[in-house]
Amino acid sequence: MAKRQAGTPALKALTDADVSHTVHEYDHDPRATSFGLEAAESLGFDPARVFKTLLATDDKDLVVGIVPVSGSLDLKALAAATGHKKLTMAPQATAERVTGMVVGGISPLGQKRRLPTVLDASALEHPTILVSGGRRGLDVELAPADLVRLAEAQVAPIAAH
């Protein structure tokens, strides 16, 4: 069990829920263009186990898709999983305002308000996965089932490889 750590709302959500997790920190390079791949490389994890948190919109509702950094988000699959006709990627400013976190550090946990969330089914192939801990340079490792429970997420195949 990770020791109580002050810090991000994501870490607070994990410790408040008493969920077993491991905190992984690395020095974020401001020149990095792929935050997820940077995390995987810096921490020495297979990119299929490191997941990125993305926000999509139908111009009215926002939804969260969590997919491996080794692939991309299939917007049609996310729309189908959440009952939307069509989704597009949410603008960066919207994603940051709604979650309270910066792009490259958006966690599926500890967001300012809970949004419909879908975790890619490939997560269940791993005993643990990594997601952002709420800021660039901070990831948390936890069991996919714990992420599903805490984020009240559904699981569906939403990644394109």
CATH classification at residue 65: 3.90.960.10
State the DSSP string of 106-142.
Answer: --SSS-SS---EEEEGGGGGSS-EEEEEEETTEEEEE
Which of 55, 60, 141, 154 is CA-nearest to residue 103?
55
Please say if the pLDDT value at position 161 is more than 80.
no
Strand-pair category, 88-89 with 51-57: antiparallel
Number of domains present in the structure of the chain: 1
Residue 39, domain extent: 21-160
Query: Is residue 5 assigned to a domain?
Result: no
Beta strands in 14-144 (DSSP E): 22-25, 51-57, 62-68, 72-73, 88-89, 117-120, 129-135, 138-142
Query: Is residue 142 assigned to a domain?
Result: yes
Please say if the pLDDT value at position 3 is more than 70.
no
Query: Is residue 9 assigned to a domain?
Result: no
Residues 84-143 pLDDT 10s = 999 999 999 999 999 999 999 999 999 999 999 999 999 999 999 999 999 999 999 999
Tokens in use for 131? 């997601």
Number of H helices, E strands in the chain: 5, 10
Instruction: Tell me the pTM.
Output: 0.94
Q: Determine what percent of the chain is predicted with pLDDT higher than 90.
A: 91
Mean pLDDT for the stretch of residues 32-36: 89
**DSSP letter, residue 148:** H
Going from the C-alpha of 4 to that of each of 9, 90, 93, the distances in angstroms are: 12, 33, 31
Query: Is residue 119 assigned to a domain?
Result: yes
